[in-house]
Structure 1
Amino acid sequence: MSIRMLPAAHIEKISPATDEQLILAYQQTGNQEHLAVLFLRYSDLVYGTALKYVRDADQAKDAVMNIYQELVQKLRSHEVAHFKSWLYVVTKNHCLMWLRKNKKNITIAFQPEFMQSGEDGHLDDLLAKEQQFKKLDNCVKSLQDEQQHTIRLFYLEGKCYKEITALTGFEWDKVRSLIQNGRRNLKKCMEKNA
């Protein structure tokens, strides 16, 4: 029996039976008309789910038909309490199996930003950053010894004011002052050498 898409209102006119009643009727009689009415209620869900996984309209339509054929067999022997949820899982599993089987055929879109080109733009960026680090290192070295020492402890070693006071023996206010003045002097030095 082939399945064709029908509006939901038309399906309800064909059979106002519940999902459970249609499943029971199909299991008892084997008449695919009961299964077709049931399946048509959720064909949009099946198609949408398949499309989400296979990402191709024609493949999704094929999946809908294949899933119906699976249901012809599976629904005869499975006890199904919530058909919609069960159908979703069957659809998802069908699509995942299809993806696994066709893994070698998956095409990935060309992304030029990952390709090597004749331009060495990324190399220029690295060189510019390296120059900035050299300037910064020279500016740190140009600071007076106490400022240089506290700046290195605070920024490069990640020490807090309290740890710096313990390491240097300076008062907390002096450490704060050295770091603030050192940061200001670094900024001036970097601007001057820009």
Structure 2
Amino acid sequence: MQVQVSDYKKFPDDELVYRYVNLHDNTAINYIYERYGHLVFGVCLKYLKNADAAKDTTQQIFIKMLDDLNRFHINNFKPWLLKVTRNTCLMQLRSKNNGANNTVELGPDMEFEQDMHQKIEQEEKLNNLQTALAQLNEDQKTCIELFYLHKLTYAEIVQKTEYTLMQVKSHIQNGKRNLKIKIETLQGMGQ
């Protein structure tokens, strides 16, 4: 199957990694770089506080990434890439200190990195929730959205949907269970 250039932007990370590793598709790596190059550079800049050093380190990280992708199975690409970025920056800071002091004071930079990691995890959880919600049947999806997102009571949902009270409770309970299963499946796939 011929892949259009516009398709690459739509591919999730795991598909791009798969295409690079298994199909030797270098275009996939170009899109990974396009997607994450600025993020890696930003993290490097926060740690190294030097644009040239951050640019060089970003290139080193992506070169290392190409080798690692062929050697290891990466489940959650984005968090893995950020961890590699952080560790590479820390190693550079340690070597810059020439071992005089094995501890590196990061202060606000460490907070920035932790905040960024938390934001990425939240974003992934939200994406998984949205994907799982879209996969529910309409009755469950409607009741879950009205109850949790719109904060309606059971009685208000009954009025709005014309389901019985028992149906509303059942749709919410079954919807929650199905959401949990679908989210766990998505997390296992690394999406």
TM-score by length of 1: 0.45
TM-score by length of 2: 0.46
The structure, 1 or 2, with the larger RCO (C-alpha pairs under 8 Å, 6+ apart) is 2
